[in-house]
Structure 1
C-alpha cells in the first residue's frame, strides 16, 4: 500500500509532534461527502512510516520505508479509515533497518481490529491521540532507536569531531538514503507545496535553490511525477500524498 496520508482526501487530519522520534501523525476518517478520486499520486518521501488502515472491515498494519520515486495508485474499493506515524530522520527500528525498507513495505504477519505483531511481539494499534505513548513504549523496549547526529546534519549543522565519511555512513544507516537524496526529495516536496499554493515556477526556482526552470521540471518528473502546470491546476479526479515541511535542509 502506498502512503495513504493524502492532502486532498476528505476526512484527513494531521499534526506535528514534540517527540524526537516522530515527525508527524495523521488520520483519515471514514467516509467523505464528495466523490472519491480515481487515483492518488504518492510522491517521493524520505521518511518511513507505520501505517494502520481498515478496508472493507479488514484491518492491516504495515511499516513502509522511504519512497525514492512517485507512484500512481488506483483508488478502487472503500477505505474505512487510516492512521499513520511518520518518523523523524535518524529514528529507526533496531530489528528492521530502514535501508531494507526503501521503496517497499513489511506488513504485520497477524493483525486484529486492535492489535498487530512487530518484532515477534503483539502490540496494541495506537490511535491519533496516543501515538507518542506507543512510540515511548517502543523506545523503552529497545526496538526504536535514534541517532541525533542525523537530524542535526540534515538540518544543516556541521558536526564536530566526526569525519564526513562517518557522517555519510550514519545517515545512510539511519535513513536508508544519502544526504543528497534526502535533500533532493525534500526540495521536490517543498516545490510541489509551493506550486499547489499558486506560486509561479520562476519564483519557486529561486526560493528552493534550483539552477533554472528545466532543473525544476526534471525534479518534478523524477520525484513527483507531475509537471508544474499540473500541480498548479490539479485534475479533479486526482489527489497527492500528504505534503509538509520538514527540518531537512533543501538548498544545495
Structure 2
C-alpha cells in the first residue's frame, strides 16, 4: 500500500461544522527518558488529543502529568495512575463533557491495565476518545480488547477514537479484533512511517490509532519529519515512536 505523499492536514473547523482533528498516540515510558526531546516531539505534532501510555503512576504522578502537559501546551484531560497508566491530554480547542477512568480485571502475575476515556466537543463535533495499553499475554489482550469495545459502545457517542500500545501486531488476535470493529487508521490512509517499536531500528507496529465508522481518515502513521525535531529526539524521547492521525469528524450532537 502506497503512503500518502501529501502533508498531514492541520486542525481546522470546516464550514459545515465538522472538525479536522489531529490525534497522537505515544508510549512515554513513565517519562524515564529525555523529557525535553519528548516535549519537542509532542509540540511539533500539534495534536488536539493525545493518548498517552505508560504515564507516571507512582510518587507525585499528577505533578509529572501536569508538567508534561505544560511543556507541550496542552492540558490534562483524564487518566494516569487512576487508569493504571493510560493518560489523555488535549488542546484548548477541546471542551470536556465527561471523563471516566476504567480499571480492567487484573491478570495474576501481570501489571494492572486500564482505560482512560473522555467525551469532548471540538467545534461542532462530539467525540469520544480512549487511550489503552493492552497486556503482554495473548489471552489477556484478547479479553481486554473485548472489554475495550464494550466501553466504546457504552460511551454512547456516534464518533470515537481509540489509540494506544496494543503489545500486539496487526496479524495478532487482539489487533485484528479491534480492526474488525473499528477503522485501523494506518491501513485506511497510510501516511509517514509504519513501524513503531523500537525507535532506533523499528521492526514492529504495536501502536495504533483506530476510529469508528463515519470518521474520515485523512492520514495516519509515524511522522517522517517534524519541525524542530531530529531523529535523535525521536530515539531519545522514549522507547516507542509516535503515531499521528488526522481525522475529519462529522458535525453532530
TM-score under structure 2 normalisation?
Answer: 0.28
Which has the larger share of strand?
2
| Larger Cα-atom Rg | 1
Higher helix share: 1
Q: Normalising by the residue count of structure 1, what TM-score does the alignment of the two structures yield? A: 0.28
